Amino acid sequence: MIEAVQAWFQRLYETTGFNFTIFYDPYDWDRYVAGLRMTLLLGISTILISLVIGAVGALLQSGPSRLLRGLVNGFVVVFRNTPPLVQIFFFYFGLGTLLPDVRSADGLRTPILDNVQWAILSLSLFAGAFNVEIFRSGIEAVPRTTVEAAEALGYTRFKAYRHVVLPLALRVCLPALNNNLINLLKTTTLAYAIAVPETLYAVKQIWSESQNVLEMMLVLLATYAVLVGVLVWIMHRWERALRIPGYGR
Amino acid sequence: MSASDRKGPRSEGWPGDLPVLLPFAIPENAPPARLRPVHGWLLCGLAVVALPAWAQAGTAALSPLDVVVKWAPLLLTGFAFNVAISLMAMAIGTVAGIGLGLAMLAEGRVLPRIAWSATQVFRNVPWLVLLFFVMFLVPFQVTVFGIRVPLPDWLKATFGFSLPVMANVAEIVRGAVRSVPNTQWEAAESLAFTRRQTLWRIILPQCTKRMLPPWMNVYALIAMATVQASIVGVTEMLTLTAQVHAAEGGRPELFAPLYGFALLCFFLYCYPIDRLTAGLERRFETR
């Protein structure tokens, strides 16, 4: 089966000149799959971390402390209005070089966070800033009376937030969240700029060695179309699973 | 019965629904995130904390603040170039996007399908990938009627940015036209307007107001995305920032202030647009 596919693409190259190396050259294929895996790692981890940042930020923003509210507001405003690429550079080059190095087991000096971790951190903060706003609008849609009812039942502020407010708010803001997470998945390509070997990076390596820019471009477009499609499908399923019965048409 | 009466003109939903089960509407009194004097104090505090670190930078070499001040004119020229790219991309993308959006609304079967798929493709592919696409697949010069027209890379980058703008504007146009009540179309038809006249003289003028805030949002996004051009080798602010860093001897403590300056420039440019958009959204609320 695999041999048949490889032979077919080899023949396609010989007869038409369309050189899809990744489908018959195991070395290129491995690089492509490694890139895809890195994109998935970036995508999934940043989505999860940014959701946590959004939830915690929205909790603090509705909290009693003025200082914390001010801090969260400032974080949201700054991260929403600056380019994510400059944020990544600022974190990776600016803050990364200010942090002290650690000595690894074999005596080499290595930075505390490597480029993949910095990319995850800065992309999560970027998307988290948007998530704070989204969750906040959802929380404000939960009526005051519901919170009061939870308080009357003896919930603490945090427990009421976790068990009552957040589940309701989440359902309200899912469409906006959907958009933001898709945007985040697309923004992971920016990690290319600090040499994180994700899909774009791997594909660029392949096309600069095999001289097949057009073919790999098509593969790249198809890859992201599929990735975004899968995320949209998952989010729609989730939306349907979370749907409150008796609501909507 | 009385319960459902009190809820007013809305027809969907059951009388006993919790308010949270009703369709979501952003509350009008929601205070959006915005800067207040307290943030100024926080920034001053940060600066005070950061100053000792700058003072340690040594006396022989320029302190990071001096470096930023010294190179600010060059960096600001780069920033102006970013703004120019974003404005051109926005102009091209808006014109093309209005065309694409109207094609999605056209009568017939084939044209709307094609326009719809083009919109979906250009919206769902990362901007950086589109940029690579244009940079690598568009030739560096084209021959028109025997005249060779060179295509410099900044021009190609502008085209690359106008593609996602086009798709987003097309969606905005489609959404805005769809939001105009059907009765407007019917009224125009009964006054013997043709379809084209209805669209240009009756529907689109009503849409412009609704399209303005999301259109400005797209502009803020594209202005922030122009820095990605540095990845494909266009000389703009980030490229210049890296060159300035190298020219100052590549000291690692310079990275944070230099990139911080870039962050500040974009923030000062995009934040007013963000506030203005939010203000317009509140004013134009058509509910």
From chain A, the residues in CB contact with B137 under 8 A are 213-214, 217
pLDDT of residue B7: 44
pLDDT at A247 over 60: no
Residue B256: which of A94, A136, A200 has the nearest Cβ?
A: A94
Determine the average pLDDT of the residues in B35-59. Answer: 62
**Range of weakest confidence among A72-81, A206-215, B108-117, B143-152:** B143-152
Provide the b/e sequence for A5-42 (b: ≥16 CB within 10 Å): eeeebbebbeeeeebbbbbbbeebeebbeebbebbeeb
Interchain CB distance below 8 Å, A90 and B129? no
Q: Could you tell me how far CA A65 lies from the centroid of its own chain?
A: 30
Residue B60: predicted pLDDT = 58
Average pLDDT over residues B213-225: 91
Cβ separation B14–A213 shorter than 8 A: no
**What pLDDT score was predicted for residue B8?**
45
Is B238–A217 a contact, with Cβ atoms under 8 angstroms apart? no
Q: Topology of B85-228+274-283 in CATH?
A: MetI-like fold (1.10.3720)
Does pLDDT of B257 surpass 70? yes
Q: Find the angle CA(A203)-CA(A207)-CA(A209) to the nearest 5 degrees.
A: 120
- pTM of the model as a whole: 0.80
pLDDT at B18: 65
Nearest CA in chain A to B228: A85
| Annotated domain spans of chain A | 2-242
Distance CA A77, CA A55 (A): 17
Average pLDDT over residues B249-262: 86
Query: Residue A32 above 80 pLDDT?
Result: yes
Which of chain B's residues have a Cβ under 8 Å away from the Cβ of A247? Answer: 13, 17, 21
Say which residue, B78 or A64, is predicted with more confidence: B78
Query: Who wins on pLDDT, A21 or A83?
Result: A83
* Res B24: pLDDT: 59
Residue A2 has pLDDT above 50, yes or no: yes
Nearest CB among B18, B226, B260 relative to A90 is that of: B260
CB contact under 8 A, A141 and B14: no
Residue B5 has a pLDDT of: 45
Q: Are B221 and B161 in contact (CB under 8 A)?
A: no
First to last CA, chain A: 46
Could you read off the pLDDT of A152-193 as tens digits, one per residue? Answer: 999 988 888 889 888 888 888 888 898 899 999 999 999 999
Q: Report which of residues B5 and B249 the model is more confident about.
A: B249
Q: Residues near B8 by Cβ (< 8 Å), separated by ≥ 6? A: none
Q: Which residues are registered as beta bridge partners of B141? A: B150
pLDDT for A138 equals 87
Q: Does domain A2-242 have CATH number 3.40.50.300?
A: no
State the ipTM, two decimals: 0.83
Q: Which residues of B touch A221 (CB under 8 A)?
A: 121, 125, 129, 133
What's residue B145's pLDDT? 80
- Rounded CA separation B97/A49 (Å): 35
Question: Tell me, what's the pLDDT at A248?
Answer: 47
A vs B, Cβ pairs < 8 A, gives 160
pLDDT for the residue numbered B9: 46
CB contact under 8 A, A89 and B137: no
- Between A105 and B170, the more confident residue is B170
| Cα gap B226→B80, rounded to integer Å | 11
How does pLDDT run across A122-159, given as a tens digit for each residue?
Answer: 999 999 999 999 998 888 888 889 989 999 999 988 88
Mean pLDDT (whole number) for A210-231: 89
